[in-house]
Chain A
């Protein structure tokens, strides 16, 4: 489904601030994989997701989605294959536009945007149905400005927007980190539901080890732009927080930087 072949990204190359964010990283995801990603600050987790999404050009390597080489495709063209949810609830939606307008924008992801009226009656009925699934009462707030919704509601809608057109790949960049624990749990549950129902292939970055263990069928740990640990299936099911802590202690011993992990 997704193939990262020896991708490298260096920020501020040739300056004193040079930072190798991704170091010859390779990763292959199978159809239907739900991968959780953990790692310290600056390990390259977000950079990896942004490399997949095409936010910046790579210094080396290739990105293939479903066998299609998208390395040279700009971000907006890759959006055809990819749904994304960001850490900041403000980032995934247009705050000054209505809920239904946001959904309509997402509804046309990867399609030509025509000069025909954006939201038809049929669209509206469908959006209502989709919103009702969220169980947040948003189906009655189609014409509320997105900016008036709470952070949790916005993340839920963003998640809906990312999945409604059945993307080949769903990228979640710590999408519950900015939410309170109860809301975060709700959004995570919704994530599981949407991924399962739509048979999506997904990558989820998280700082929460419990979540990383509990969700998905595969877990990878990153450090200094490389994948240093990759478990799936049975082995991942048996994984405990203590195992991951031990793994982290191991890295911390090796690296000069004090890569502190936010533990919870």
Chain B
């Protein structure tokens, strides 16, 4: 019986994993490709949710609402990028500054309210995906379609001449400049694109949760990073194909939410959850490093022994 109940939580977990997977794909651009830790996302995911919700409640078509949410995210990334490249503020701090600005911006978008609901009775035929697990099958198909589309577009983009210059920027900035790449521009572009995708995920998150909430982005970067590191830990061994790696990040997000639902199901008090997600990320980021340094030391000792 228990197992059946647990299985019952799975579709919801996968649905959440899909939405956060899209967010994590956005984060992948900054964290993995540009090699920048961008804390803007905690704010821009809420911005996407707020913009989409407000437009929906004002009778705007959901497609347009999500597109505007994407653009709002792009603007947020632009602010971080310009703070970083134009004013020389370290990327992490630039992200934190924008995040704080977005807190106010998000409240302003929601006319000062901390929570704006998308009543499922009023908006059920206007949203793209339904709230919670109602019509979960349809929701999963739509979300998977969006994931495939976003991944395909990014796969194409990062294979273009311009897209490759973004990748080389993250890889080796001084080499990129020596090859004539304006690394400030590519960095800003990457941050803007990343936050656009994160805000798009935010617009889906609002529909899934049936509300935009000023606090919904708190710790978003940790969830996104968890998805990226878990996905990479599994898929970096399987394939070097960029498209597969992006899907791997989504799988990482799904795994995260299944684990999350499971520990709740097993009765872990919800106040522990953020602690748990932060620890997961710390472990996944820390273990490869320790492995490297520990093994390096061991090797050195062996070499010394043999000498």
Asked whether B181 lies within 8 Å of A113 as measured between CB atoms, the reply is yes
Q: Are A95 and B171 in contact (CB under 8 A)?
A: yes
Are A79 and B167 closer than 8 Å at their CB atoms?
A: no
Residues of chain B contacted by A95 (CB below 8 angstroms): 171-172
B162 touches A114 (CB 8 A): yes
**What sequence of 0s and 1s flags, for each residue 242-255 of chain B, a beta carbon within 8 Å of any chain A beta carbon?**
00000000000000
Instruction: Note all chain A residues with C-beta closer than 8 A to B178.
Output: 53, 75, 79, 82, 84, 92
| Contact pick for B161, options A76, A84, A104, CB 8 Å | A104
Interface: B270 (CB within 8 A): no
A45 within 8 A of B: no
Min distance, Cβ B54 to any Cβ of chain A, angstroms: 32
* Nearest-Cβ distance from residue B193 to partner chain A, whole angstroms: 13
* Cα A80 to Cα B174 with chains together (Å): 15
The answer to whether A91 and B172 touch across the interface, beta carbons within 8 angstroms, is yes
Task: Check if A76 sits within 8 Å of B174, measured CB to CB.
Answer: no
Within 8 A of A (CB), among B150-164: 156-157, 159-164
Contact of A116 among B160, B167, B171, B174 (CB under 8 A): B160
Task: Give the B interface residue count (CB, 8 A).
Answer: 23
Q: Which residues of A contact B164 (CB under 8 A)?
A: 97, 101, 104-105, 113, 118
The chain B residue sitting closest to A146, CB to CB, is B171
Q: Which of A90, A96, A161 contacts B179 (CB 8 A)?
A: A161
Contact across chains for A115 and B160 when beta carbons are under 8 A apart: yes
Cα of A94 to Cα of B179 in the assembled complex, Å: 11
Q: Do A91 and B175 contact each other (CB < 8 Å), given the known contacts A104-B161, A108-B161, A113-B162?
A: yes
Which residues of chain A have C-beta atoms less than 8 A from B156's C-beta? 117
Residues of A within 8 A of B160 (CB): 113-118
Q: By the criterion CB–CB under 8 Å, are B168 and A97 in contact?
A: yes
**A168 close to B (CB within 8 Å):** no
| Contact of B177 with A by CB under 8 A | yes
Q: CB-nearest residue of chain A relative to B165?
A: A113
A71 at the interface (CB under 8 A from B): no
User: Given contacts A91-B174, A116-B161, is CB(A79)–CB(B168) below 8 Å?
Assistant: no
In the complex with contacts A91-B172, A95-B171, A106-B162 CB distance below 8 A: no
- Does B182 belong to the interface (CB within 8 Å)? yes
Give A77 to B179 CA distance when docked, in angstroms.
9
Give 4 closest A-B pairs by Cβ, nearest first.
A79-B180, A94-B171, A113-B161, A113-B162
**12 A-B residue contacts at CB 8 Å?**
A53-B178, A76-B180, A82-B178, A94-B175, A96-B171, A104-B164, A106-B179, A108-B180, A110-B180, A113-B164, A115-B157, A117-B161
**Assuming A76-B183, A113-B160, A116-B161, what are 8 further A-B pairs, CB within 8 angstroms?**
A93-B172, A94-B171, A108-B165, A114-B161, A115-B160, A115-B161, A117-B156, A118-B161
